[in-house]
Structure 1
Amino acid sequence: MARMFRVLGFWTLAIALMSFAGDMYEMSLLFFIQTAAFFLLGYLKFTERTYIFMFWGYMVIAFLGFTYWSVFEMSLPY
């Protein structure tokens, strides 16, 4: 299970690099931070249950943040 967090780190690094190349600096900073967190968590040798709980916590925070941003921060195209 720890290997999956390193895989998540790889993909977030790929997204961070592509967004950096596309001049989306805020997005790339967010994904660089996620990359560091995923790589760190991937090497901490937690139990599988702990990794599942951390992943679900991450998903809840990510979906709440995405919903907040898309409802309250994005402008509507009229």
Structure 2
Amino acid sequence: MARMFRVLGFFTLTIGLMAFAANMLEMAFLFFFQTVFFVVLGYLKFTERTYILLFWAYMIVSFTGFSYWTVFEMGKPL
């Protein structure tokens, strides 16, 4: 299970590098932060239950943040 968090770190690093190349700096820094988070978690020796709970907590926070952003921030007229 710990290796899966390192894989998530690899994919977030890839997305962050593509966003950085496209000059989308806010998105790139967000994904670089997630990369560090996932790689650090991947090298900690937690139990499988802890890893699953951490992943669920991450999913709840990310989906709540995404939903807030798309409803309240993107809906504002310029």
Q: TM-score range by the shorter chain?
A: over 0.9
Name the % identity: 68
State the alpha-carbon separation in 1 of the partners of residues 19 and 63 from structure 2. Answer: 20
Report the alpha carbon displacement of residue 75 of structure 1 after superposing the two structures with TM. Answer: 3.2
**TM-score of the two chains, using structure 2 as the length reference:** 0.95
User: Which stretches of structure 1, 4 residues or more, deviate above 6 A after TM superposition?
Assistant: none
Correspondence 1:1-78 to 2 at 5 A: 1-75=1-75
How many equivalent residue pairs? 77
State the alpha-carbon separation in 1 of the partners of residues 76 and 64 from structure 2. Answer: 19
Report the alpha carbon displacement of residue 76 of structure 1 after superposing the two structures with TM. Answer: 6.4
Report the alpha carbon displacement of residue 44 of structure 1 after superposing the two structures with TM. Answer: 0.3
**TM-score of the two chains, using structure 1 as the length reference:** 0.95
